[in-house]
Amino acid sequence: MKALITGASSGIGKEISKYLASFGYDLYVVSRNKEKLDKIYKNFKVKVTTIGLDLSDYNNCIKLHDMLKDKNIDLLVNNAGFGDAGFFNNTSLDKEIDMIKLNVVSYHVLTKLFLKDFIKKNHGRILNVASMAGFMPGPNLATYYATKAYVLNLSLAIYEELRQLNSNVKISVFCPGPVDTNFDNVANSKFRVSYISSEYASRYAIDNMFKNKLIIIPSNMKLNHLLIRLVPTKLILKVNSLIQGKNKDEIEK
């Protein structure tokens, strides 16, 4: 069995890779920093191929698929992503375009190309790492939340298409709340709710993916998920603005 994991040098991607290795999966792991990947994966007992690519470049997503399309990948985990906290009128447009290219375009391209291969073989799985952010708007992290809504909705629609095709190919979408990773350092964000560990989050995601769950929400966020659907949008905006995404320096004052 072979798995391709993007964003495997840190946080959720690293823990998902470790957990998949414990099931005997050979790994293809991707991040921009190949040296870091080589260090992390050097003592793994399974076969690991480390690939340094910037997936915010569309051409690199195509290149990745070209490199691996004949390797009989069984599982694609789209995970590489980042956020950037701040009011939309202040945040960097260049950074946001890169975010959309990574969080949206790379997921879109890799999902499409590997899905086509999987459908041909009538075998394969895709796990898209979205977020609870996909279910609601996120003041202070507006673009990030919007990217996650894209991933969530794309994955759900594909699920139904696979069902109509009677395909054995599976797709799941992982929607955790805050996870203790390097995310906040990159995004300069801080959430006023408890964080789960990346190890717990990743095991939860993979265990439920193997149970063919479509939307995977860790237990600590199940009530929030329900409330999001019941509470009026303007109230969600206020509450969400209070609990998340404030500039980290401001919160730690």
Three-state SS string across 23-38, please? CCCEEEEEECCHHHHH
Q: With CB under 6 A as the contact rule, which of the stretches 38-46, 180-188, 204-212, 237-245 interacts with ligand NAP?
A: 180-188
Q: With CB under 6 A as the contact rule, which of the stretches 38-46, 174-182, 215-223, 245-253 interacts with ligand NAP?
A: 174-182
Which residue, 115 or 179, has its beta carbon nearer to ligand NAP? 179
Rounded to the nearest whole angstrom, what is the least distance from the CB of residue 218 to ligand NAP in the complex?
Answer: 10
* C-beta of residue 48 within 8 angstroms of C-beta of residue 18: no
Which residue, 108 or 123, has its beta carbon nearer to ligand NAP? 108
Which residue, 8 or 27, has its beta carbon nearer to ligand NAP? 8
Rounded to the nearest whole angstrom, what is the least distance from the CB of residue 241 to ligand NAP in the complex?
Answer: 17
Q: With CB under 6 A as the contact rule, which of the stretches 1-9, 112-120, 162-170, 216-224 interacts with ligand NAP?
A: 1-9
Burial class from Cβ neighbours inside 10 Å (0-12, 13-18, 19+) for residue 8 reads buried
Residue 143 is inside which H or E element, if any? helix 142-164
Which residue, 183 or 204, has its beta carbon nearer to ligand NAP? 183
Which residue, 54 or 167, has its beta carbon nearer to ligand NAP? 54
Backbone φ and ψ for 211, nearest 5 degrees, come out as -85, 10
**Residue 2 binds to ligand NAP (criterion: CB under 6 A):** no
- Give the 3-state secondary structure of residue 137: coil
Q: Can you count the helices (H) and strands (E) in the chain?
A: 11, 11
Residues β-bridged to residue 238: none
Which has the closest alpha carbon to 247: 185, 155, 158, 177? Answer: 185
Q: Which amino acid is at 14?
A: K
**Residue 236 binds to ligand NAP (criterion: CB under 6 A):** no
Q: Which residue is nearest to ligand NAP (CB)?
A: 11
**Residue 135 binds to ligand NAP (criterion: CB under 6 A):** no
Which residue, 186 or 214, has its beta carbon nearer to ligand NAP? 186
Query: Helices 142-164 & 107-121, crossing angle to 10 degrees?
Result: 10
Binding track, positions 4-43, relative to ligand NAP; x by CB under 6 A: --xxxxxxxx----------------xxxx--x-------
Buried b (16+ CB within 10 A) or exposed e, 40-53: bbeeeebebbbbbb
Candidate list 64, 102, 105, 236; residue touching ligand NAP; CB under 6 A: 102
Burial class from Cβ neighbours inside 10 Å (0-12, 13-18, 19+) for residue 174 reads buried
Residues labelled catalytic: 144, 148
**Residue 218 binds to ligand NAP (criterion: CB under 6 A):** no
**Residue 199 binds to ligand NAP (criterion: CB under 6 A):** no
Name the residues that contact ligand NAP, by CB under 6 A: 6-13, 30-33, 36, 54-56, 79-82, 102, 129, 131, 176, 178-179, 181-183, 186
